[in-house]
Structure 1
Amino acid sequence: MKKTQLILIVVGVLAIAGLYALPSVVVDNEGQADGVSQDNAAASSESTEAIAMHEPELTPDQQLQLNTLKLQVKEDSSSEDIVSSSEELAGIYQEIGKYDSAGYYLGLAYENRPETELAEKAGNAYYEAFSFALDQEKVNYTAEQTRKYLNLVLDNDPTRLDLKTKIAMTYVSSSNPMQGITMLREILEEDPQNEDGLFNMGILSMQSGQYKRATERFEELVKYHPDNLQGQFYLGVSYFESDQKNKAKAQFEKVKELTDDPTIIGTVDTYLDQL
């Protein structure tokens, strides 16, 4: 799934814990749409206050650079100058991981030069912020902004299944999660080998406790996309949770052969110790 981190997945214990923060929804049983809805708070105002959702910790030099660029954005009368300064601001915020702030300035750039490329950049930045968001207000706001900008891209190119997948995942955390599940199913009907679609449906099947179905999704994923390390890892977890111990052991050993990342190996060893 993650060419640019379509949904933030941290492989390991924290990833498994984060998985259960999603609403519980039956995602892969034909004809079923049972789940737990979440009430959405009102979206934040689309103003400069949006960038204050978290204040970045900056060095004095970085703060001076940001303040100078913000002043240029505020005072420039030329749309092209505003676009240039806004993109530079967004780049700085992306470097320090403040994706909602990056999204705000890329959105401002789009307003001054409404091009599809800028809309996609803004939508992707907001999706990154959505992936990291913890409190519900921020989840709601960044999801809404993701859909706003990525739908502008889809209006021009409806074939962008990668963007449809991101939009689908924002709905999963909304008051209507089945809208996102339906979108993911439609993506897989159109492209049964779609990497993002298979990964996300596997994750959501795990989250709703459908581990047998999750194994099927991840088996398909690694069949078509064997280099997807997250898929390989979660296939092992799905085997483990569905009490397929021999398969789980073999899969976890395979994951250890695919990476030398000590965090992943340590997490895998934790599972192996329980088999």
Structure 2
Amino acid sequence: MSIRTSALLFFLFTSFLLKAQSPLTPGFTMLETGKFNDAKAFFEHYLESDGQNPTALLCYGRALGLSGNPTKALEVFGDLKKKSPDSYEVALNIAEAYMWSKDYSIAKSHYEELVKRDSTSFSANLGLANANSELKDYDSALKYIGKALEIQPTNGNALTSQKFMFLGKSAVMMGIGRRDQSEILLKKILENNPEDEDGMINLATLYSIMGKYKEALGFYERLLKSESKKVDAAIGTAQVKNKQKKNKEALEWMQKAIDMSDSTSAFKAQMGYVDALGWNKRFKEAFQKISELEQTFPKEKEGTLAARGRLGIWSKGFKVGAGYYLKLLEISPKSFEGNLGYADANHAMGMDNKSFEYVRKTLGYYPGQIDASQFLDRLYMGHDPNFTPKVYFSRDNGGNASQNISLKGSLDPSPLINTFVQYYQREVYNINQERNDQNSLVVKQITVGASKRQNGILKYGGALSLIQAPQGSSLVTDVNTEWKAGKYQIIELNYRGELQTFNADLINQNLKQKNFNLNYNLFLPSKIGLYSQIIRTQISDGNNRNLIFASLYYLAFEAPVFKLGVNYGGFGFKNQVPQLYFSPDKFRNYELFVAAENLGKPKTKFIYQATFAKGLQKISSEKYQGIYRFDIKCGLKFTPRLHALAYFLKSNSAASSVQGFTYNEWGINAGWIINKHTF
């Protein structure tokens, strides 16, 4: 309930005393009709001739407070209290004067004393309820508004106050993620008045957040007929269409919102249209629209800066978006979107030190807020210690088989630094031969490594591995760098050393490789992507290999992921040593593939990842051969921090096996993110 409504309610409650003084009747009418400045002038003039009239003084104090001068009103009421220290009426006005001056804690303490003096006072209970409501103590507010309504069950002003208390508590519950409780409170509003527009618009918004799109659209459709809520209903409908991946319809609804808007809702509707342009990836138009709105609505700087920040992130201009959010925070340091948006932009650039800082700032301003809390948890899940075990087996049609165990643990000492240690053991043998010490060989490897995010462009790292094999121990190193070359491109320059362990013959030869990699990854707003790789390999027997791979694909769906495309791969060895390993002078393969996965969906229990490919390969001067491969993983996400996957892959492409045979692999891998923060 507004302070003005509260003031009028109190005045009407006491009017039976006031109307007994007929010369004061014009002043009473002015107060009742909201003409507070006129009332102030009237009672000021009246008091010139009757300066001690308590009723006139009380009304004069009310006129002062309601016209914007609560300090002077308190002086008037204070003088009255000196003359009548036990007057309940004066005490009620003093309490309400503190409400006018927004000193809600002081008002609350006065109302509490008044309720102790007379628990049946409607005005005292209503005032105490309103004071608690202003202090966001909605439980206490609803307790005392309930008592007020027990005294006057049909009082319209009290029912209105109760409605806004329900709305206030519902917003708090929604903010901290207690959506079921929020729904119950909003339904109570509609139980009292099924056509209450505030209840309907808030319930529709809640249903949209909860994913109950049919219910949300039902309320929005009803509200499209409302003169005061039709713009909000059109915007809400557009937001639901966006969540349903119907972005063209969303844009149409935002245009309808503009068409319905007036001077009070025009900016909100225009901002909605800007968002819809962003959803449709029409970023150039969206930024142009913001520039126009900055000219038309120069006082709406916070809104236009927030929109520029959002569009910056959506269009992958993370640094630009972060800059706009910083400008927003200069104007409004406590801005929810400014703080969380800046955290989000930095997270996208890999600068999680800033992300942590600004998510915590957001929660400092908005304790328990569900979006910020979930963001903080996601950040920690990306940096908390984790353990990833893997057990798998392989076999090809040449009889080569292996049993493998990998145990990897990582720990981040800071948001920008990752460290890990890994143990890997591989036993190889040939199923066509008797399994003995010469046929079955074991290689063990311990690796320690680290990486650091230097800034939004560069990440680098390295690793050192100690390998223990039958032919002796050796050290190999990895060095890797990642460069973000603009919005849509990532370039990787890597060096990797390794020991060839595919089968016993290779292990006995103690062949080592030095691989120099250049990877290029491009993903455009059109959802077309390109991943390419060039590898130069030097082998310890004097041989070398040159390899090129390219994958051109189209991302049809993002959640779950579904993409399709074509792959090209080719390599050649300087020397052909087929008695030891597959080393043709020329190899080419061409594939069509489809891939799908839902690993990134946060609330999914059943998880999967699958790739199917079919194509052709050509080895040296031989004829083209048909090839296929498939890789299927499926498992369970037991909690957001624990999952397990079983998998099976099969390929008859020569590129899948060092020896060029049909290759099979199956196993289980798991991941456990330990809920223990290291910074």
**Shorter-chain-normalised TM-score: which range?**
0.5 to 0.7
Equivalences for 1:81-230 in 2 at 5 Å? 81=121, 83-99=122-138, 101-115=140-154, 116-133=156-173, 134-137=175-178, 139-154=179-194, 158=195, 160-172=196-208, 178-188=214-224, 190=225, 194-227=230-263, 228=265, 229-230=267-268
Deviates more, 1:109-118 or 1:61-70: 61-70
The alpha carbon displacement at 1:239 in A equals 0.1
Question: Could you tell me how far 1:237 is from its partner in structure 2?
Answer: 1.4
Unmatched runs of 5 consecutive residues or more in structure 2: 1-102, 318-679
Q: How many residues align?
A: 206
Q: Which residue type is aligned with residue 108 of structure 2?
A: L
Q: Aligned in 2, Cα 1:131/1:222: closer, same or farther, shift over 3 Å?
A: farther
Matched, 1:66 2:105: no
**Cα distance between partner residues in 2 of 1:207 and 1:100:** 33
Distance 1:213 1:131 in 2: 28
Aligned partners of 2:211, 2:257: CA distance in 1, in Å? 28
Name 1:244's counterpart in structure 2.
282
Larger Rg: 2
Aligned to 1:36: none
Query: What code does the residue aligned with 1:242 have?
Result: N
Please say if residues 165 and 197 of structure 1, whose CA atoms lie closer than 8 Å, have aligned partners that are also in contact: yes
Q: 1:78-137 CA distances to partner (integer Å, 9 max, x unpaired)?
A: 2xx1x3123222332343444555444334433332224422321222213323432333
CA distance in 2, matches of 1:235, 1:262: 17
CA distance in 2, matches of 1:148, 1:268: 35
Displacement, 1:185?
2.5
Higher mean displacement: 100-109 or 197-206: 100-109
Q: CA deviation at 1:243?
A: 1.5
- The separation in 2 between residues aligned to 1:71 and 1:181, in whole angstroms, is 47
Structure 1 range deviating more: 265-274 or 242-251: 265-274
Deviation for aligned residue 1:271: 5.2
Higher helix share: 1
- With over 3 angstroms needed to count, the CA separation of the structure-2 counterparts of 1:86 and 1:211, relative to structure 1, is farther
Q: How far did 1:236 drift? A: 0.4
Cα distance change of structure 1 residues 109 and 204 upon mapping to structure 2, 3 Å threshold: farther
Contact 2:189–2:199 (Cα < 8 Å) also in 1 = no
TM-aligned CA distance change 1:262 to 1:220, over 3 Å = same
Normalized per residue, which structure has more strand?
2
Distance across 2 between alignment mates of 1:246 and 1:130: 38
TM-fit CA distance, 1:232: 1.5
- Does the CA contact (< 8 Å) of 1:90 and 1:106 recur in 2? yes
Residues 119, 125 of structure 2: 8 Å contact kept: no
Asked whether the 8 Å contact 1:120–1:150 carries over to 2, the reply is: no
Tell me if the contact between 1:91 and 1:102 (Cα under 8 Å) persists in the aligned partners: yes
Cα displacement (A) at 1:73: 3.7
Pair 1:171–1:85, CA change in 2 (3 A): farther
1:138-167 per-position Cα deviation (integer Å, ceiling 9, x unaligned):
x4334322321343133xxx4x54543334
Counting aligned pairs with the same residue, the percent is 15
CA distance in 1, matches of 2:128, 2:230: 34
Rounded Cα–Cα distance in structure 2 between residues aligned with 1:164 and 1:219: 22
1:232 counterpart (267, 270, 280): 270
User: Which of the numbers 304, 329, 334 marks the counterpart of 1:265?
Assistant: 304
**Shift of residue 218 of structure 1?**
1.4
In 2, distance between residues paired with 1:177 and 1:75? 51
Quote the offset at 1:238 in angstroms. Answer: 1.2
Partner of 1:136, secondary structure, is coil
Q: 1:147, 1:183 → 2: CA distance?
A: 13
Aligned CA-pair RMSD: 3.4
Q: Scaled by the length of structure 2, what TM-score is found? A: 0.27
- Is this contact kept in 2: 1:256–1:268, CA < 8 A? no
Q: Structure 1: how far apart are the matches of 2:236 and 2:145?
A: 27
